[in-house]
Amino acid sequence: MNAMLAAFAMGGMEIVLIIGVIILLFGARRLPGLFKGMGESVKEFKKASKEDQSGVAKKFD
Would 34 be classed as within a structural domain? yes
Task: Note the maximum CA span of the chain.
Answer: 52
Q: Is 10 inside any structural domain?
A: no
User: Has residue 13 been placed in a domain?
Assistant: no
Distance CA 57, CA 61 (A): 6
Residue 6 has pLDDT above 80, yes or no: no
Better pLDDT: 44 or 56: 44
| 21-49 pLDDT, tens digit each | 988 888 888 888 988 999 999 999 999 88
Number of domains in the chain: 1
pTM of the model: 0.51
Question: Which amino acid does the sequence have at 41?
Answer: S
Given pLDDT bands bounded at 50, 70 and 90, which one contains residue 51?
confident
Domain range for 37? 30-61
Q: Average model confidence (pLDDT) for the chain? A: 80
Report if residue 21 sits inside a domain: no
